[in-house]
């Protein structure tokens, strides 16, 4: 079995968010890659300019090229938005296994909770947000994505956040109006084993929505992680989650 893992991050993040997972997997002999999407992570300087007009298809193409340069077909682990991209790449047959952590909904999955609907309304209040990129807001992040972290840790993680493309957010949360259907996934094309996991306290992708992602892959396991929220990859206990994933990988 392949011992290569590529981890694809989500909105506002960077490869840095997988450091707790990386430490566990590398200790078990895996080669771990945590690339930054364009305008994110170490590339977030001038991120507003870099990300304006950039969308999910651009992120996917970047990751496809990255994977093509690897010596073997990797395991793909996607968090949040990265889980949508990981599914799309797996449908192209370039994943040995697929792990979906706090998966953002692909096209076809409707919002299942009041916080999801509120997030959509908040985005609409920004006007034509899909034409620009913008920085995150600390108060909003603490409420909806960093709620699983202690207050002092919330600020630390937020400082590592960067801007996000409004076009990418539009494609994720308003897929029904996206004529290109950018976040669609040919789930029948995913032939590798799939694992989906999500936190019970996730306010961006609640369990019902995450379960809708998993339901497209009959017989695949779905883990509801008690007490964890959206940023489970950096929350206390992240290493335990990684060890459990490693156990599933065998």
Alpha-carbon distance of 29 to 211, in angstroms, equals: 31
200 pLDDT higher than 90: yes
The mean of the pLDDT values for the chain is: 96
Would you place residue 183 in the very low, low, confident or very high pLDDT band (cuts 50, 70, 90)? very high
Kind of pairing between the strands at 133-134 and 164-165: antiparallel
Mean pLDDT across 5-25: 98
Which structural domain, as residue segments, surrounds residue 176? 4-249
222: buried, middle or exposed (CB in 10 Å: 19+, 13-18, 0-12)?
A: middle
Kind of pairing between the strands at 194-199 and 133-134: unpaired
Kind of pairing between the strands at 75-79 and 4-8: parallel
Position 126 scores a pLDDT of: 87
Report percent pLDDT > 70 for the chain.
100
Nearest in space to 103 (alpha carbons), one of 77, 122, 124, 123: 77
Position 113 scores a pLDDT of: 85
pLDDT in tens, 129-177: 999 999 999 999 999 999 999 999 999 999 999 999 999 999 999 999 9
Kind of pairing between the strands at 31-33 and 4-8: parallel
- Residue 91 sits in a domain whose CATH number is 3.40.50.1820
Report percent pLDDT > 90 for the chain.
92
Would you place residue 244 in the very low, low, confident or very high pLDDT band (cuts 50, 70, 90)? very high
Would you place residue 205 in the very low, low, confident or very high pLDDT band (cuts 50, 70, 90)? very high
Would you place residue 189 in the very low, low, confident or very high pLDDT band (cuts 50, 70, 90)? very high
Backbone angles phi, psi at 22, to 5 degrees: -55, -45
Position 115 scores a pLDDT of: 82
Q: How many domains does the chain have?
A: 1
């Amino acid at each position: 079995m392949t011992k290569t893992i590529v981890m694809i991050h989500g909105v506002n993040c960077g490869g840095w968010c997988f450091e707790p997972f990386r430490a566990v997997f590398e200790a078990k002999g895996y080669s771990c890659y945590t690339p930054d999407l364009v305008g994110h992570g170490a590339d977030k300087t001038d991120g507003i300019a870099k990300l304006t007009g950039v969308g999910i298809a651009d992120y996917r193409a970047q990751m496809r090229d990255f994977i093509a340069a690897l010596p073997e077909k990797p395991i793909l682990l996607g968090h949040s938005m990265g889980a949508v991209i990981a599914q799309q790449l797996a449908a192209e047959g370039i994943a040995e296994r697929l792990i979906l952590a706090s998966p953002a909904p692909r096209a076809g999955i409707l919002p299942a909770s009041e916080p999801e609907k509120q997030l959509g309304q908040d985005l609409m209040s920004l006007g034509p947000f899909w034409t620009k990129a913008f920085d995150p807001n600390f108060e909003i992040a603490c409420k909806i994505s960093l709620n699983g972290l202690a207050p002092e840790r919330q600020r630390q993680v937020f400082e590592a956040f960067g801007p996000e493309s409004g076009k990418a957010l539009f494609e994720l949360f308003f897929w029904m109006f996206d004529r290109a259907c950018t976040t669609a996934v040919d789930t029948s094309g995913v032939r590798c084993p799939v694992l989906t996991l999500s936190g019970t306290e996730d306010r961006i992708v609640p369990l019902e929505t995450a379960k809708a992602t998993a339901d497209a892959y009959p017989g695949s396991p779905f883990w509801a992680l008690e007490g964890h929220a959206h940023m489970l990859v950096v929350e206390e206990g992240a290493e335990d989650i990684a060890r459990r994933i490693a156990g599933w990988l065998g």
